Amino acid sequence: MAIFADFRINVTSGELGGEDGSTIYLHAPGLLQAQFRSIERAVLGLEGVRAMRRVTLMPSERRAFELNTLLDNLEDPVLSVNRSGQVLAANLAAARAFGFSLDKVAGIGLERFLPGVEVRRMLKSLDGPRFGMPVSLRGHAFIMSWTPIGLPSGQGASDGSSEGAAGAVITLRRRHGEPADFVEQAPQRLWSFGDRRTCCESLVRHAREGGPVLIIGEPGSGRTVLARQMFYLNPAHSRSGARLFYLNLAEGEMALPRGSLARGAAGVLVLDNAGPLSDAAQAALLAQLDKVARGISIITTSALPLTQQEYSPALMARLEGRVVELPALRFCRSAIIPCVEAMLDDRGGGFVLSAAAAELVRSYDWPGNFTQLQAVVDAAIEAAHGEISGGGVAVEILPRHLSLPRQQADFPWLKWLEGRSLKAVIEQVECSVLRALQPQFSSTRALAERLGTSHTAIAKRLKKYKL
């Protein structure tokens, strides 16, 4: 660099390039040919320098030029947006789709033209639906896929958030005529919070691998929603030919959608609510499954494992594949409050959960799982809606706004208590809780903190029960 300084040549930037990274590119604006010839001999005299020449573009500039040329010649609209949904850059096809000239498309709000697309919400859950989402733009039907900017594809923070993502790159593909049995449903949240996140990560992985998947969960646990959303988690379904088909087995209908049987068909077939079936019904269903196109992934949902419903081995082999068991909401209490906060956020904000209401929600068993939780949250919002005051102050959801049915104990307490005193019952429960939790904690202090009591109290009880 001293040589350039001696010749009064201003170098503003530099890059490494070449096939093996041994070429140095220097950007010297306004460099005259006479100046270049003057320093060429001095530079070539340096050890390790084999050649020196002028180029028109820096490597980054050349790559940008190549990519822009490729994008401008694509028939599909491609655009990038920031976290608030403003368009930062777009190709010529995108500008035409939005009805703008290329120099005016930057800065427009995406949600103004695609009302159902909320960029802020999309970026909050990077393991959520990203491929093959149906949208409408100025009266034309498209398939939308998106990739986050600033994070590796498909990866987010450990809690499922994406605070590091700067925005997204969005691709739109034109849709053509849909068959009558094609199911169109907007993607929904996976509710991948707390202990439920592991299940959602498994479903994301299985969706991209393809093949049959069995989702087991209690009513209201979201098994149907997750089964449908697996269509939007596979990059292969971003092409316009992929379809989502649905059949509710609980309604007694055994005829598969005709589109799933067509040669060359691709997508997902959801067999919802698989329950006990007669031998004849199982045989009829198996015969139809043998005709399903190879490009169709079969996703089955059930409240119980198929082995407990006496399915034939041949039918189970077609349906089970990979098995994902969804935990009931009462078994993943760490997910309850984040879910409620997300539900409140989906309603446009303006509501927050008070501490007392949060404790009530967290301690409730939710026999209806997410379906019941959503209904209670919606009712609470309606109950508190009339209390919104001016000035943009958020309204608290209070315990009186929560319409929670009285919990029905499904445990046979009377039989369990028979012949035993209250003290003996309490001691047995206490011992069982400590025995179950102790292996999960490295110290009695951590165990005491988890149970909300003192270290001394825990130490005494561990000694009492010889744990």
pLDDT, tens digit, for every residue of 300-350? 999 988 888 888 889 988 888 889 999 888 888 888 898 888 888 777 667
Work out the mean pLDDT of the chain and round it to a whole number. Answer: 82
| Same domain flag for 288 and 348 | no
Distance, in Å, from the CA atom of 50 to the CA atom of 98, rounded to the nearest integer, reads 51
Type of residue at 346: D
**What percentage of the chain has pLDDT greater than the value 70?**
87
Question: Coil, helix or strand for 458?
Answer: helix
Going by C-alpha positions, the residue among 64, 65, 110 that lies closest to residue 87 is: 110
The residues that bridge with 247 in the sheet, in sequence order, are 271
Q: Are strands 78-82 and 167-174 parallel, antiparallel or unpaired?
A: antiparallel
User: pLDDT tens, 376-435?
Assistant: 998 888 888 766 555 455 678 888 888 888 766 566 667 777 778 888 888 888 888 888
User: pLDDT tens, 423-466?
Assistant: 888 888 888 888 888 888 888 888 888 888 898 998 998 899 88
**What percentage of the chain has pLDDT greater than the value 90?**
9
What integer is the mean pLDDT of 3-21?
A: 86
| Same domain flag for 83 and 100 | yes
User: pLDDT tens, 158-185?
Assistant: 344 444 467 888 988 887 655 444 445 5
Establish if 183 belongs to a structural domain.
Answer: no
| Same domain flag for 297 and 277 | yes
Establish if 187 belongs to a structural domain.
Answer: no
Which CATH number does the domain housing residue 304 bear? 3.40.50.300
- Neighbouring C-alpha atoms within 13 Å toward the C-beta of 130: 22
Distance, in Å, from the CA atom of 298 to the CA atom of 82, rounded to the nearest integer, reads 36
Distance, in Å, from the CA atom of 280 to the CA atom of 136, rounded to the nearest integer, reads 43
Residues 98 and 203 sit within 8 Å (Cβ to Cβ): no
In the chain, how many domains are there? 5
Establish if 420 belongs to a structural domain.
Answer: yes
Last residue within a domain, chosen from 270, 296, 326: 326
- Where does residue 409 rank: exposed (0-12), middle (13-18), buried (19+ CB within 10 A)? exposed
pLDDT of residue 349: 64
pLDDT of residue 409: 58
Going by C-alpha positions, the residue among 175, 190, 165 that lies closest to residue 145 is: 175
Distance, in Å, from the CA atom of 261 to the CA atom of 241, rounded to the nearest integer, reads 14
Distance, in Å, from the CA atom of 453 to the CA atom of 445, rounded to the nearest integer, reads 9
Task: List, edge to edge, every strand of the sheet that includes 242-248.
Answer: 242-248, 266-272, 295-302, 213-216, 322-325
Q: Is the pLDDT of residue 155 over 60?
A: no
Last residue within a domain, chosen from 297, 326, 355: 326
193 compared with 108, residue with greater pLDDT = 108
Which CATH number does the domain housing residue 363 bear? 1.10.8
Q: Which domain holds residue 248?
A: 196-326
0.75 surpassed by pTM: no
Last residue within a domain, chosen from 326, 351, 379: 326
